[in-house]
Structure 1
Amino acid sequence: MSNLATTSDNILRCARSLIIAGGYNGFSYADISEAVGIRKASIHHHFPGKADLVRTLVARYREDTEAALAHLALQEPIDQLRAYTEYWAACIGDGSRPFCVCALLASEIPVLPPEVVLEVREYFRLLSAWLTSVIERGAKQGTLKLSGTARSEAETFIATVHGAMLSARAYGDPAVFAAVTQPLIERLTAARQ
């Protein structure tokens, strides 16, 4: 049974890399078969169709993100925001995860199967709810300064972080990510007036 889980995990890991490299329509089961070293029939055994594969990938990605965010819960709000941006800065810098797979898939929503769209939206709902909660807590403590509601600040944070990923990718320069996200953190931590 563990061999099945390993094969499944390898397929998912490969699919994630292929999505980051070329998007949903930028890969096929033949690409995964070649990269993982298994027959296409084996991939279909684990994931009957591409939508099943990517839906599962996004669901696991969301679960992993939720677990990682839960580990930050004991930190101060500003430290949680910094940890989140520093995670992505490190991933972009070393190329290990140069882009959020859900952000890439979100840009493809018009052509994605509905079951994948639902999972992508659930990821963004999770991220928005977490950020809203962190920002609300920081505002109540007086450690974060809001220009609008906690929810609007959370959505701005999400858009800025994902936009910074895109800019870093477009320029081929990981330093662009910090150049965009650092002022965001500074604005939120500016002293209350």
Structure 2
Amino acid sequence: MDTQSTVREQLLDHAITLMMLRGYNGFSYRDLSELVGVKTSSIHYYFPSKDDLVLEAVKQYSEEVVRALQSIDPALPANEKLSLYTRFFGKTLGDGNQICLCGMLAADIETLPETVREAVQAFFRTNEAWLAKVLAQGVEEGTLVAKGKPESAARTLFAALQGSVIASRLFHTKSRLEDVEAMWRVAA
């Protein structure tokens, strides 16, 4: 089996990285053609429009995140699950210069088609639902603090994590992300 990635996979991978660094409006097919070494007409073969490319990138990114969530052992205490989730979120930062793809696209949402808006909303809902379960478990165990309904607390937590990634990028430090996690832990 050929272990080299296909042109389509390379295009998606580079598009995701470029969007995490620059946003939707910060890259073009020309940028991708230079990175992958193909003509822009070849990119249009795989993705007729930039919107098609972005939608597929969101789908791929979301699937990777869901796989990461599913890989977290359900038997773990909630505070450990949250810690693993936060570390995973921190990996998104890379060298401190990237933002979660869907967080970045959420900032550009008014310039994107409805299909991408819906995919980004689904990404947020999936993360918030997972966090709600973890927070409910943590409150029950006494390892996490969450005021109000778990669903509301999860939306607040996810918004704080997204914001911390932006601030971490701004200040070139992952400590902002760690600060958010610490706010939800029960003091020892």
TM-score over 0.5 (shorter chain): yes
The amino acid of 1:78's aligned partner reads N
Structure 1 unaligned segments of length 5 or more: list them.
Answer: none
What residue number does 1:151 align with?
Answer: 151
Equivalent position SS for 1:63: helix
Q: Does 1:183 find its partner at 2:182?
A: yes
Shift of 1:88: 2.7
Equivalent position SS for 1:88: helix
Equivalent position SS for 1:165: helix
Q: Distance in 1 between matches of 2:75 and 2:8?
A: 33
Shift of 1:118: 1.0
Equivalent position SS for 2:15: helix
Equivalent position SS for 1:15: helix
Q: Which has the higher helix share?
A: 1
Q: Distance in 2 between matches of 1:131 and 1:18?
A: 27
Shift of 1:90: 4.3
What residue number does 2:17 align with?
Answer: 17
Shift of 1:97: 7.5
- Cα distance per residue 1:29-87 (max 9 Å; x no partner): 11100111011121111111111111011011111111110111332211111111122
What residue number does 2:108 align with?
Answer: 108
CA RMSD across the alignment: 2.3
Is the contact between residue 168 and residue 175 of structure 2 (CA under 8 Å) also seen in structure 1?
yes
Q: 1:172 to 1:138 in 2, by over 3 A?
A: closer
Q: Distance in 1 between matches of 2:44 and 2:81?
A: 40
Q: How many residues are paired up? A: 187
What residue number does 2:50 align with?
Answer: 50
Q: 1:97 to 1:134 in 2, by over 3 A?
A: farther
Is the contact between residue 55 and residue 116 of structure 2 (CA under 8 Å) also seen in structure 1?
yes
Is the contact between residue 23 and residue 104 of structure 2 (CA under 8 Å) also seen in structure 1?
yes
Q: Distance in 2 between matches of 1:44 and 1:117?
A: 22
Moved over 4 A (4+): 1-5
Shift of 1:103: 0.3
Matches within 5 A, 1:116-155: 116-155=116-155
Q: Distance in 2 between matches of 1:142 and 1:177?
A: 22
Matches within 5 A, 1:76-95: 76-92=77-93, 94-95=94-95
Deviates more, 1:133-142 or 1:120-129: 133-142
The amino acid of 2:164's aligned partner reads A
Is the contact between residue 82 and residue 185 of structure 1 (CA under 8 Å) also seen in structure 2?
no
Is the contact between residue 91 and residue 97 of structure 1 (CA under 8 Å) also seen in structure 2?
no
The amino acid of 1:166's aligned partner reads I
- Cα distance per residue 1:2-47 (max 9 Å; x no partner): 7996111100011011112211111111110011101112111111
Q: Distance in 2 between matches of 1:7 and 1:16?
A: 14
* Alignment TM-score, normalising by the size of structure 2: 0.89
